Chains A and B, each alone.
Chain A
Amino acid sequence: MWFPRLASDRVLRARPVEGPFALTRIVANADRLACLNPAAERAGLSRGMPLADARAFCPGLRTRPADPHADARFLGALRRWATRYCPWVGREGCDGLVLDVTGSTHLIGGEAAMLADMRQRLARAGITVRLGLADTRGAAWALARYGEAPAPPGATAQAIGPLPVAALRLEPDTVTALQRLGLRSIADLAAAARAPLARRFGRGLMMRLDQALGDQPEQIAPEPEPPRYATRLTLPEPIGLTADVMAGTERLLQALCARLKDRETGARALVLTLRRVDQDSQQVELRLARPLRDAARILPLFERGVTQVEAGFGIDRMRLEAVQVEPLPVRQLSHVGDTGKARLDDLITRIGTRIGLENVQRVLPADSHIPERAFLVAAAAFSDPGPSWGSPRPRPLRLFPPEPVAGHGPRPPQDFRWRRMALQTGRATGPERIAPEWWMADEAWRSGLRDYWRVETRQGRRLWMFHTPQAPGWFVHGEFA
């Protein structure tokens, strides 16, 4: 199966355009045409032509940038669709599919009926396709691109014989060299002496020929079907009550959790899509603090999101998908159990559904002398408690952005005002010198070295102040217990 105009068909399916149309791609700093529709080809354009030339040929040309990733996804969707004909479907390059239909043609009604069915369905979908059917993969490739007639069983050599040598999946250089030698068709090549050709062109040429003629086997590698963690429910009558939606969700969850359990995975993020009668759809997202596949525990977490859904005239379709899954091996039951941790994770999830899972944080130790960087703040759902903390020197309970106070000289000021309070220094302990980390550009540490003092004021407040000797000034940076 070859889709000669896969990319432009894909774009034109989404928004049809009358007249010449092309997709452009930047190759070697110039916009070049990547894929054309038939109208553009009739206007004399061809692939690889610079866009400026194409515009001169055909002023009415409409273009759009090409998107190879979307094309690959589209081909993937076609590949899944093609499994309706046979289970062995693989990709062939970036614009073709290869199907091993051995033993499955009779299900559709024979080879001719199957090809007609494929053509009809793809034409209805607006996709240009060229089909080749032969005993071998190489011959089918050649027929799809250069022939377009099914080869009868056992007559592969006759069917592909008149085709040019380019139909053998060869490098362009090899094709040119063969044509110079006068070997224009596959029949010519098959009739030539093998040994000199193998010496001249390497074994690749002979391998391709043998593969096309069936003397050498070639396998089709069907792509693994990625596991899909999604379930859906269509209702005969629309529903609107929260309890009904939750009952539906429970059914979906049980099916989904059974699937997760089969593959020993747990869901980390779930999306519940509720489709209303008036075609509007609403989504309830749920992110979990740790992978789960226990329907009874996930269900209550959906309650908050479901109550916020506007049901309108009613909901008649529900779809639940685990958009993010993580491995969750089956564990041996034990009498010890860590229910405390599980319940804490549930609580983090519940809080996370309200304020966002990344806003529930825990602190982890970090290796730095800079007080603000001596610890890391990490999302609690994605980290484990760190090792124990040591603090060789007393550190304040709270840190705030440095607040300047009046003072000069290397000793803490005797009297100063901070936050509209008049304070007197009762006792000062220090200095503790902390140098900026030269390998980190930090705006706050531009003033250079800091001499930290623990200042106990006669009013009671115990402050952590620093003096910057390189840019004289006094600041309050934190407060002790």
Chain B
Amino acid sequence: MSGLDPALFPPKPARMHEACGPGAAAFAAVLAAQLDGPVLWVLESWRADMLTPQGLSAFFDPARLLIARAKDQTEVLAVTEEALRGKTLSLVVAELARPIGLTPGRRLQLAAGEGRTLGLCLIADGAGSNAAETRWHCAPVFDADPGIGDSTPMRWEIIKNKSGTLGAWHVRWEHATRRLHVVSPAGERPGSQGAAG
């Protein structure tokens, strides 16, 4: 059992990162919890699903959250770029429905560098942009033996890294103390009888 590499998480500041998989929103929430200051979540206005502040409050104070609803993906990218250059936010999360090309990705990367702000794109599986610094695949895993009260085991895997190595970790978020713990994979702990996740 090894800790999460501090060089990899939290990801490099002032860069644009990507997260995919069913646990991407939770990854963004954990990331926001590691940082101080307001968080902007940019999404397209047609989306019917909504973030719940009660759910987010397990990770960070929802009073820090701002939500921008844009008309289409072009607007989402424009708002994200503007927000990254703004220098006032700690994290900008953009939900992208369609893959973006190298040029928009590079523009976001430059904006993040100029505004010294961390950016995160939530993308569909396999829809990443080449310009991203790292790409994480996040998925919740089933833990037959819940152990402590909050059962939030997740598997985080870096599937792309421009300046480092790849890796995969099993993590667990503790609600009470708002801390991230790296754990051994579910089902491989001493005394567990369940199947692997």
Complexed CA–CA distance, A400 and B29 (Å) = 18
Do the beta carbons of B58 and A385 come within 8 Å of each other?
no
- Contact residue among B22, B25, B55, B82 (Cβ-Cβ distance under 8 Å from A460): B22
Q: Which of B2-10, B64-72, B126-134 contacts A (4 or more CB under 8 A)?
A: B64-72
Do the beta carbons of B68 and A395 come within 8 Å of each other?
no
Do the beta carbons of A457 and B58 come within 8 Å of each other?
no
- Contact residue among A340, A389, A479 (Cβ-Cβ distance under 8 Å from B88): A340
User: Which residues in chain B, 65-106, are within 8 Å of chain A measured between CB atoms?
Assistant: 65-71, 75, 78-79, 82-83, 86-89
A sample of 11 cross-chain residue pairs with beta-carbon separation below 8 angstroms, ordered by A number, consists of A354-B79, A355-B68, A362-B65, A362-B66, A365-B53, A386-B63, A388-B61, A391-B54, A391-B57, A457-B142, A458-B195
Do the beta carbons of B173 and A363 come within 8 Å of each other?
no
Do the beta carbons of B53 and A360 come within 8 Å of each other?
no
- Given A344-B38, A355-B68, A362-B66, A375 and B61 touching (CB < 8 A)? no
Complexed CA–CA distance, A388 and B50 (Å) = 20
Q: Is A380 interfacial (CB 8 A cutoff)?
A: yes
Tell me how far the C-beta of A135 lies from the nearest C-beta in chain B, rounded to whole angstroms: 66
The total of chain A residues at the interface (CB under 8 A) is 50
Do the beta carbons of A351 and B83 come within 8 Å of each other?
yes
- Given A347-B88, A354-B78, A401-B48, A374 and B69 touching (CB < 8 A)? no
Q: Is B26 interfacial (CB 8 A cutoff)?
A: yes
Chain B neighbourhood of A362, CB < 8 A: 63, 65-67
Complexed CA–CA distance, A347 and B51 (Å) = 22
Residue of B nearest to A365 (CB): B53
Q: Is B167 interfacial (CB 8 A cutoff)?
A: no
Chain B neighbourhood of A386, CB < 8 A: 63
- Contact residue among A346, A354, A377, A401 (Cβ-Cβ distance under 8 Å from B75): A354
Chain B neighbourhood of A400, CB < 8 A: 48-50
Do the beta carbons of A462 and B53 come within 8 Å of each other?
no
Q: Is A441 interfacial (CB 8 A cutoff)?
A: no
Do the beta carbons of A363 and B53 come within 8 Å of each other?
yes
Tell me how far the C-beta of B29 lies from the nearest C-beta in chain A, rounded to whole angstroms: 7
User: Which residues in chain B, 125-172, are within 8 Å of chain A measured between CB atoms?
Assistant: 139-144, 146, 151-152, 154
Complexed CA–CA distance, A460 and B137 (Å) = 14
Most buried by A among B55, B151, B173: B55
Q: Is B193 interfacial (CB 8 A cutoff)?
A: no
Do the beta carbons of A350 and B58 come within 8 Å of each other?
no
Do the beta carbons of B83 and A397 come within 8 Å of each other?
no
- Given A359-B68, A363-B53, A347 and B22 touching (CB < 8 A)? no
- Given A389-B57, A395-B52, A426-B142, A460 and B197 touching (CB < 8 A)? yes
Chain A neighbourhood of B52, CB < 8 A: 371, 374-375, 395-399, 478
Interface string of A373-396 (1 = CB under 8 A from B): 011010010000111111100111
Do the beta carbons of A351 and B82 come within 8 Å of each other?
yes
Chain A neighbourhood of B37, CB < 8 A: 340
Complexed CA–CA distance, A334 and B70 (Å) = 37
Q: Is A343 interfacial (CB 8 A cutoff)?
A: yes
User: Which residues in chain A, 386-435, are within 8 Å of chain B measured between CB atoms?
Assistant: 386-391, 394-401, 426-427
